[in-house]
Amino acid sequence: MRIDVVSIFPEYLAPLELSLIGKARQEGILDLHVHDLRTFTTDRHRTVDDTPYGGGAGMVMKPEPWAQALASIADERPEGAARPVLIVPSPAGERFTQALAYELAEQDHLAFACGRYEGIDERVLEWSREHFDVRPVSLGDYVLNGGEVAVLAMVEAIGRLLPGVVGNPESLVEESHSDGLLEYPVYTKPSVWREREVPAVLLSGNHGRISQWRRHEQFRRTAERRPDLLEAFDAGKLPRADRAELQELGYDVVDGRLRPRPAAGGDHGD
């Protein structure tokens, strides 16, 4: 996969030389290029921002340096290759999820445009649609100072899904969000640590019981920490043991979806 990142702070992306992503680059699995937006300016001060039309606080990124930078990336596309996807990190974008990470990991070429200040002149996004599939993407409902930190997170989440990046691909199957649930808790030696014992079932050697316990823990943890995920979970084909566990946690299956059981008591209608 090829990835291009455009930023006014290319040093911010230095961690992408480390660990599994750095190794994937060395091994040629990931061809990652970071570009300094200021190299695409033409004035003496290398200006990338200006005041917003209509007034208001802060500065807006000027369109022309972005057009130059993005055109140079689009021009490198090999003859006949599919249009690259241009991801624009923004709190106003669609939510970045594991499902989107899987979708983007299928692409041959991704580009990331890191905005700063109040954002990039909107016309850049319109113009970019001639050359890219443009996707404004948000990491979550909070505001960062710029797109760089979001790119670090997204490139790591996408890059680790590329074949050969994570040594044991099975670890991708059992982790949080791969099946719509949070991951079960994990333990290692010693079996007793500061008077706290590892759950006995994990020492039993009974793989059926261990799987069932882990599944139960996934449901329990998801119900406690992320009930929104449980309500989005496809419960249509759940085995009876799972349904029983979910009932204990206060959920019923209604039309293939999990619904929290209303609390007992309340209005009896008279």
- What's 18's DSSP letter? S
CB atoms within 10 A of CB 96: 21
If one asks whether residue 90 binds ligand ADE (CB under 6 A), the answer comes out as yes
Shortest Å, Cβ 234 to ligand ADE: 27
Strand 133-138 and strand 85-95: pairing? parallel
Shortest Å, Cβ 258 to ligand ADE: 28
Residue closer to ligand ADE (CB basis): 112 or 251: 112
**Which residue in the set 65, 84, 89, 159 belongs to the binding site for ligand ADE (CB under 6 A)?**
89
**Which residue in the set 22, 63, 91, 180 belongs to the binding site for ligand ADE (CB under 6 A)?**
91
Shortest Å, Cβ 115 to ligand ADE: 7
Please give the residues from 137 up to 196 whose contact with ligand ADE meets the rule CB under 6 A: 138-140, 142-144, 147, 150
d(CA 189, CA 180): 29
Residue closer to ligand ADE (CB basis): 132 or 184: 132
d(CA 265, CA 268): 7
**What token pair was written down for 216?**
């139960």
Shortest Å, Cβ 119 to ligand ADE: 8
Name the residue among 102, 98, 94 with its Cα closest to residue 134: 94
**Secondary structure (DSSP) of 197-214:** EPPGGGGS--HHHHHHHH
Chain positions contacting ligand ADE, by CB under 6 A:
89-91, 138-140, 142-144, 147, 150
